[in-house]
Amino acid sequence: MIFQSLAQLEANNQAGVLCTVVRTHGSTPRHASSKMIVYPDGRIEGTVGGGEVENRVIAEALLALQDGRTRLLSYSMSDPQRGDPGVCGGQVEVFVEPILPKPTVVVIGAGHVGKAVAHLAKWAGFQVVVSDDRPGFATAEMVPAGDEFYPCAMQNLPAQLTITPWHYLVLTTRGASVDMAGLPALLQTPAAYIGVIGSKRRWTLTRQHLLAAGVAPQAIERVKSPLGLEIQAETPEEIAVSVVAELIAWRRGKRPAASQEV
């Protein structure tokens, strides 16, 4: 069942953590090769021994989902007063391996720039989702690079697409009014990146509107606008290069400061 669940995670582009008992000595609750999957919401499948050992492994697994790093955990189970997670008398080592989904770029606004971003993001190895409130734009015919399509208003997108910390939201919409209406819903998601196309003035007006609407300043500070690296881009293709380059930087751990325009 564990291996079937791992295959399902990969097929559905979802996250999880595989925890495997790799070495034991003395009396321990589980033998070497025992496995457990930890899901992002804390659910588990399988077991590495139960009790406090398992609680600690689950906590480390959830941390591994955040930083993407493997861990080799070693526990002695002799003296709880010393901080040991048990009294069996043995020792156990557990290897914690995060299984991260393919990062997904969500292009919201499938005009000239949006189509170019989708094409280049796909080429760079991202999963690509395309959304537009104009149904004729969010289609495979219009954007061949898309893997999924959501023809809906931006504010309705989180109800249709589960947005995770592995989603990068790129707003290449046709105007500030679209962003003003849709951003509050997006800012409530755990997306890794939220970028808005446009001039500094456009973002200033959008930001002022969001503040007036009661959106918390710390939430607005998540937004990167103007989005993309500064390379003096002009054409849709050049803008796409600057945007996808920035997404790659974020994917690899570089976090440029969010917009602070006033």
Band (pLDDT 50/70/90 cuts) for residue 27 is: confident
Q: Is 8 exposed, middle or buried (0-12, 13-18, 19+ CB in 10 A)?
A: exposed
Percent of the chain with pLDDT over 90: 74
Same domain, 235 and 168: yes
For residues 182-207, give the mean pLDDT. 94
Same domain, 204 and 218: yes
Domain limit, last residue, from 40, 72, 99: 99
Q: Is residue 170 part of a domain?
A: yes
Query: Is pLDDT above 80 for 260?
Result: no
Query: Is pLDDT above 80 for 88?
Result: no
In total, how many domains does the chain have?
2
Give the relative orientation of helices 200-212 and 176-186 as an angle to the nearest 10 degrees.
50
Tell me what pLDDT residue 196 has: 96
Tell me what pLDDT residue 98 has: 96
Better-predicted residue by pLDDT, 184 or 29:
184
Same domain, 84 and 123: no
- What CATH number is associated with residue 108? 3.40.50.720
Domain limit, last residue, from 34, 64, 99: 99
Band (pLDDT 50/70/90 cuts) for residue 261 is: very low
Band (pLDDT 50/70/90 cuts) for residue 79 is: low
Query: Is pLDDT above 80 for 78?
Result: no
Tell me what pLDDT residue 257 has: 52
Residue with tokens 């679209």: 178
Same domain, 171 and 61: no
Query: Is pLDDT above 60 for 84?
Result: no
For residues 215-225, give the mean pLDDT. 95
**DSSP character at residue 259:** P
Report the side by side order of strands in the sheet with 91-99.
44-46, 35-38, 16-25, 91-99, 71-76
Q: Is residue 161 part of a domain?
A: yes
Distance CA 262, CA 246 (A): 22
Same domain, 89 and 176: no
Residue 75 C-alpha from the chain's centroid: 31
Tell me what pLDDT residue 237 has: 95
Same domain, 58 and 112: no
Q: Is residue 3 part of a domain?
A: no
Q: Is residue 262 part of a domain?
A: no
For residues 68-84, give the mean pLDDT. 74
Same domain, 76 and 160: no
Q: Is residue 256 part of a domain?
A: no
Tell me what pLDDT residue 258 has: 47
Domain limit, last residue, from 99, 126, 153: 99
Alpha helices in 85-216 (DSSP H): 112-123, 157-160, 176-186, 200-212
Band (pLDDT 50/70/90 cuts) for residue 75 is: confident
Percent of the chain with pLDDT over 70: 92
Q: Is residue 82 part of a domain?
A: yes
Band (pLDDT 50/70/90 cuts) for residue 83 is: very low
Helix (H, G, I), strand (E, B) or coil at 161: coil
* Domain span including residue 221: 104-251
